[in-house]
A and B are shown apart, each in its own frame.
Chain A
Amino acid sequence: MLDSSRLILRGKRQDAIFNIIGILFTLVGIVTLAILVVDLMIDGSPRLSYQFMTSFPSRRPENAGILSAWVGTLMVISVTLATAVPIGVAAAVYLEEYAPKNWVTTLIEINISNLAGVPSIIYGLMALGLLVYQFKLGRSVLVGGLTLALLVLPIVIVATREAIRSIPGSIREAAYAAGATKWQVIRYHLIPYSMGGIATGTIIAMSRAIGETAPLITIGALAYVPFLPPPPVQSTAPFVNAEWLHSGFTVLPIQMFNWVSRPQAKFHENAAATGLVLIFFTLAINGVAMYLRYRIRKNLKW
Chain B
Amino acid sequence: MSNPLPAKIKRLRKRTAASNRQRMWRDVRERGIEGLLFMAAALSVLVTVGIVGVLLYESAQFFRHVSVVEFLTGTVWTPSFANPKFGILPLVSGTLLTTGVALAVALPVGTVVAIYLSEFAPFAVRELLKPMLELLSAVPTVVYGYFAIGFVAPMLQQVIPDLPTFSVLSAGLVMGIMIIPYVSSLSEDAMRSVPMLLREGSYALGANKIRTALGVVFPSALSGIGAAYILGVSRAIGETMIVAIAAGMQPKLTANPTEPAATMTAFIVQVSLGDAAHGSVEYQSIFATGLMLFLMTLTFNILGYILRRRFHQAY
Contact = CB atoms under 8 A, between A and B. Distances in A.
Interface of A: 7, 11-12, 14-15, 18-19, 21-23, 25-26, 28-30, 32-33, 35-36, 39-40, 43, 86-88, 90-91, 93-95, 98-99, 107-108, 110-115, 117-126, 128-130, 133, 150, 153-154, 157, 181-183, 207-208, 210-214, 217-218, 220, 223, 253, 256-257, 260-261, 268, 271-272, 275, 278-279, 282-283, 286, 290
Contacts of A90: 36-37, 40-41
Given A40-B146, A181-B30, A118 B238 contact: yes
A39 B147 contact: yes
30 contacts: A26-B116, A30-B132, A33-B136, A40-B143, A87-B40, A94-B34, A94-B37, A108-B41, A118-B238, A119-B293, A121-B268, A121-B293, A125-B290, A126-B55, A129-B55, A129-B57, A129-B287, A130-B50, A153-B44, A181-B30, A214-B240, A214-B241, A217-B272, A253-B142, A257-B244, A260-B150, A275-B143, A275-B146, A278-B140, A283-B139
Interface of A is mostly: helix
Top 9 nearest A-B pairs by Cβ distance?
A119-B238, A22-B116, A211-B140, A11-B208, A90-B40, A129-B54, A94-B37, A214-B240, A91-B41
Contacts of A272: 146, 150
Interface in B270-298: 272-273, 278, 286-287, 290, 293-294, 297-298
Interface string B287-315: 10010011001101110110000000000
A119 B240 contact: yes
A91 B43 CA distance: 8
Contact of B112 (A25, A36, A220, A290): A25
B30 A183 contact: yes
B121 interface: yes
A117 B301 CA distance: 7
Nearest to A214: B240
B231 interface: yes
A254 B265 CA distance: 16
A283 B269 contact: no
Contacts of B255: none
Nearest to B45: A111
B269 A211 contact: no
A147 to B, nearest CB: 11
A90 B44 CA distance: 12
A269 to B, nearest CB: 10
A270 B135 CA distance: 24
A108 B142 contact: no
Contacts of B302: 114
Given A28-B180, A211-B140, 20 more contacts: A15-B210, A18-B120, A19-B120, A22-B112, A22-B116, A25-B116, A29-B133, A91-B44, A98-B37, A108-B41, A117-B300, A150-B47, A153-B44, A157-B44, A213-B142, A213-B240, A257-B241, A260-B150, A275-B140, A283-B138
